[in-house]
Structure 1
């Protein structure tokens, strides 16, 4: 891809596989109704936005799930297990791809995330790959709950651009969510919608002339 000097990667379903249907099913089993409007890829209850921007604590999030399920007896573990069922995993091959990209571009991670998922992922990385975090794989990793902002709002993209002195015309944003792509376009970023599963990341980047 011509003129690109910087890449901002999304995490879920770009680098790391996630499965919304798993969590939809798990929430159903907790007693939550109208799951397609409560939690889905293209839309969800405001509870999730609040959690991803750090506006509410894990305890407040869990209480929100108890209220939605109309079951105040649900344990923290039951809720965390249902919520974390979304998280499938990644591969060492993808980590190698990120290092290849880092050799050619300034690379960044920008993920809508939350404290419960983040803690699970960090533990998973340590257990599965013996790495503590993504510091070695990107110039900087950004997570929504730390920034108090989330995609697709333009202010999250603007902050990453400003902090790193990035020219949007020279920067590519890769995400699997069409609504996030639209937000990135509003600030002038080049965009690429991830249309493959994360285990096809390298071939996807090669096919789009990035690697």
Structure 2
């Protein structure tokens, strides 16, 4: 998909603040610093539109990006970041759970996992949680440009095994640097918002 116009329309913490335009929404979730903003920037063909930070825990609200008046990408705060207070983490968890379980415009979630490592305990918990609520999920393994080409298939097999993915569940290897996997991610998104 060739994106022409993108606008960060709002940062929300409460359902009363969500957009009311009725466009379908795709949530982007993952651990802090896994590459959600980088994936967003690649998908919308912008260099630094979604703010990327070397410092985890920067996204603290649900950020709604209007993409060509067709859909919203919703950047969700990263999970598993230890340097915020327990009460702050609980507030984020409640905000995220409310959005993911109650939002009828949500058509699916892109769950980002660091493609260089085994999934974390948090990744596995999120996988179980999304499964429990029967939310459509695309798993995207990020930063695969840091995995040698000869090792990628092994890495992909290991991630599928660790995440206990069924045959029909998709895992896409992705690199923001080389844009590897971008078209496959878009294909899944387009199918979800039909």
| Greater length-normalized contact order (CA 8 Å, ≥ 6 residues apart) | 1
Q: Please identify which structure carries the higher strand content.
A: 2
TM-score class, shorter-chain normalisation, is 0.3 to 0.5
- Pick the structure with greater CA Rg: 1
- Per the normalisation by structure 1, the TM-score is 0.33
- Per the normalisation by structure 2, the TM-score is 0.35
Q: Please identify which structure carries the higher helix content.
A: 1
